[in-house]
Amino acid sequence: MNAAPISPAYVPAQPEKSVTKPGDLAIAGAPPAFAAPLHVGGPNVGDREVFLRHVGDMFDRRWFSNNGPLVQQFEQRLCEDLGVRHCIAMCNGTVALEIAIRALGMEGEVIVPSYTFIATAHALHWQGITPVFADIDPATHALDPLAVRRMITPRTSGIIGVHLWGRPAPADELQKVADDHGLPLMFDAAHAFGCTYKGRKVGSLGQCEVFSFHATKFFNTFEGGAVTTNDDELAEAIRLMRNFGFAGYDNVIHPGTNGKMVEICAAMGLANLDAVPEIVRINQHNHALYSAHLVDVPGVSILPMSEGEESNFQYVVLEVSEDAGVTRDALVEALHAENILARKYFWPGCHRMKPYREMFPHAGLVLPETIRVADRVVILPTGTSVSAEAIATICSIIRVVVERGA
Ligand SMILES: *Cc1c(COP(=O)(O)O)cnc(C)c1O
C-alpha cells in the first residue's frame, strides 16, 4: 500500500494576486485572482495505483458489471464503515432514490424539503408522486418536524428528510412524526457520507438512507450511489429492483430497472475510501480557515457543522445577512469575476423551479424560512484542490467586497 492516500499528481490552485483594497478586485478591472476556474467541489482522487490495480484485475477477469467482485467488496466495506446490515450500490444517487422510494411503496404525496438538490423532488415527480414541500429550520437548514406535521394530508404516503450539507436532519423527531401517522421515513444522505447522528454513522436512520458518490461529492465513484438499510426484506426488494427483478438466469420475480453500479466505479470507490480520512482532515482544516478569516467580517458568517457530531466538512456554507454591506448576488458576481465559482446552492428552492412552480404556485406561502435561507447562502470552494493561500485570498476578497459595499 502507498503511504500517501491522495494522488500525488494533484496541485492545489494558487492565487495570482493579493487583495487589500477595492482597486485590487476583478470587478474593478484588475486581473482575476485565479488563472483557471476554482470549483466548489473539484473531484478528490485517492491513490491512482490502487485504482489501476483494481482495473487491471477487472480486465483479467473480464467481469465489468452485474454485481461483480469489486462491487461486492465495495458494498461490504460500506457496511463495515457505516455499521449497517445492507448496502446496495447503484449507478447514481438519483436512481438509488427512485428505487428506494418505490420499494417503500410511496405514492400520492410525499413530504420533502424544498431546500435541497432538485433530484430529491425529481425522484418523486418522475414516478408520478407529488412532492409536498415543508419548511426548514433556519438555524440548521434541515426539515422542521413541526412543518412536516402541518403538511400531512390523507394522501401522504411518506417523508424524505435530507441531511443537508452533511448536518444530520432531526431524525428522532421526524421518526416520531412518521410513527404517529404510520408513514415510512427515509433520508437523502447524499451529503452525509461519514457524518454522525447522535454519535452513530448516518446510514441506518429511518427505513433506509440514500447516498450519492457523484464526482462533485467529497467521496466519489465517478458516478454512483447506494441505499443502506437494516431491513432485510427491503434490502432484498431493492436488490431485485436494481437488476430488472431477476432472480437467477431466466426468472423475473419483481418489476425492476437498471440501477447497477459497474466494476470500474467500484474500483474508484475502493481507492477513494482509503483516502476519506485524509480528505475529511483537509476539508475540516479548510472549514476552520474560512471561519477564522471571516470571523470579524460584519454581516457574513460560516454555518458551523453540527456540534458534537463527526462531519465530512464537504461544504463551506457562507450566509450573507440582509444587513451586510453587499447583497448575496453581488458578492457571488464579484467572486465569479475572480474565477472563484462560488454557488448559490440550492437557490431558488425546488418549489420555485419551473416544474414545481407550476404545480404549486402558492408554495412560498408556507416556506418563508426556505426562501430566506435560499436567498442568503453562498457555497465556497473546498476540498483537496484548494490551498490555504487560496482560502486566504478568497476571504480577503469577501472582506473587501463587503467593506466596499458598506
Ligand atoms: C448529488 C445529490 C443527489 C443526486 O445524486 P446523483 O448521484 O448526482 O444522482 C441527490 N440529492 C442530493 C441532496 C444531492 O446533493
> Residue 295 domain-assigned?
yes
Of 220, 245, 273, the last residue of a domain is 273
Same domain, 236 and 316: no
Same domain, 188 and 243: yes
Residue 2: band (very low, low, confident or very high) from pLDDT cuts 50, 70, 90: very low
Same domain, 312 and 254: no
Residue 3: band (very low, low, confident or very high) from pLDDT cuts 50, 70, 90: very low
Same domain, 97 and 169: yes
- Closest C-alpha to 309, from 391, 212, 200, 226: 200
φ, ψ dihedrals at 265, nearest 5°: -70, -40
- Closest C-alpha to 322, from 133, 136, 134, 138: 138
Q: Please report the atom of ligand 1 found closest to the CA of residue 225.
A: 7
pLDDT at 217 over 90: yes
Q: Whose CA is nearest to atom 2 of ligand 1?
A: 190
Q: What predicted TM-score, i.e. pTM, was given to this entire model?
A: 0.96
> Residue 88 domain-assigned?
yes
Same domain, 119 and 231: yes
Pocket test for ligand 1, best of 40, 91, 94 (most atoms within 8 A of CB): 94
Pairwise CA distance, residues 386 & 284, whole Å: 12
Which domain does 168 fall in, by range? 48-273
Distance from the alpha carbon of residue 212 to the mean position of ligand 1, in angstroms: 5
Same domain, 265 and 280: no
Output the pLDDT for position 385: 87
Distance from the alpha carbon of residue 359 to the mean position of ligand 1, in angstroms: 22
> How many domains is the chain partitioned into structurally?
2
Pocket test for ligand 1, best of 91, 101, 114, 117 (most atoms within 8 A of CB): 117
Average pLDDT, integer, range 31-42: 93
pLDDT at 108 over 60: yes
Of 217, 247, 273, the last residue of a domain is 273
Pocket test for ligand 1, best of 40, 214, 265, 379 (most atoms within 8 A of CB): 214
- Taking the alpha carbons of 201, 206, 208, 211 in that order, is the dihedral positive or negative? negative
Query: What is the bridge-based pairing of β-strands 185-188 and 208-212?
Result: parallel
Instruction: Give CA 406 to chain center in angstroms.
Output: 33
Place of cell 412560498: 364
Across all residues in the chain, what is the average pLDDT?
Answer: 95
Same domain, 161 and 124: yes
Pocket test for ligand 1, best of 120, 136, 222 (most atoms within 8 A of CB): 120
Tally the residues of the chain.
406
pLDDT digits (tens, 9 = 90+) for 166-204: 999 999 999 999 999 999 999 999 999 999 999 999 999
Distance from the alpha carbon of residue 394 to the mean position of ligand 1, in angstroms: 27
Pairwise CA distance, residues 309 & 322, whole Å: 30
Same domain, 193 and 326: no
Q: Please report the atom of ligand 1 found closest to the CA of residue 164.
A: 13
Pocket test for ligand 1, best of 160, 188, 212 (most atoms within 8 A of CB): 212
pLDDT at 405 over 70: yes
Output the pLDDT for position 42: 83
CATH of the domain at 178: 3.40.640.10
Average pLDDT, integer, range 359-365: 93
Residue 6: band (very low, low, confident or very high) from pLDDT cuts 50, 70, 90: low
Same domain, 180 and 57: yes
Pairwise CA distance, residues 113 & 212, whole Å: 18
Same domain, 242 and 293: no
Output the pLDDT for position 13: 83
Q: Please report the atom of ligand 1 found closest to the CA of residue 216.
A: 1
- Which positions ≥6 away from 56 have C-beta within 8 Å? none
> Residue 371 domain-assigned?
no
- Taking the alpha carbons of 128, 147, 375, 14 in that order, is the dihedral positive or negative? negative
Residue 7: band (very low, low, confident or very high) from pLDDT cuts 50, 70, 90: low
Q: Please report the atom of ligand 1 found closest to the CA of residue 223.
A: 7
CATH of the domain at 29: 3.90.1150.10
Residues with a CB atom less than 6 Å from ligand 1: 92-94, 116-117, 119-120, 162, 188, 190-191, 212, 214, 225
Average pLDDT, integer, range 142-157: 98
Distance from the alpha carbon of residue 190 to the mean position of ligand 1, in angstroms: 5
Distance from the alpha carbon of residue 225 to the mean position of ligand 1, in angstroms: 8
pLDDT digits (tens, 9 = 90+) for 340-359: 999 999 999 999 999 999 99
pLDDT at 235 over 60: yes
Same domain, 227 and 248: yes
pLDDT at 138 over 80: yes
pLDDT digits (tens, 9 = 90+) for 46-67: 999 999 999 999 999 999 999 9
DSSP 161-173: EE-GGGPPP-HHH
Average pLDDT, integer, range 305-319: 96
> Residue 204 domain-assigned?
yes
- Closest C-alpha to 266, from 224, 320, 236: 224
Q: Please report the atom of ligand 1 found closest to the CA of residue 162.
A: 13
Distance from the alpha carbon of residue 59 to the mean position of ligand 1, in angstroms: 30
Same domain, 100 and 189: yes
Average pLDDT, integer, range 108-121: 98
pLDDT at 8 over 60: no
> Residue 367 domain-assigned?
no
> Residue 300 domain-assigned?
yes
Q: Please report the atom of ligand 1 found closest to the CA of residue 191.
A: 15
> Residue 362 domain-assigned?
no
> Residue 391 domain-assigned?
yes
Of 244, 273, 302, the last residue of a domain is 273
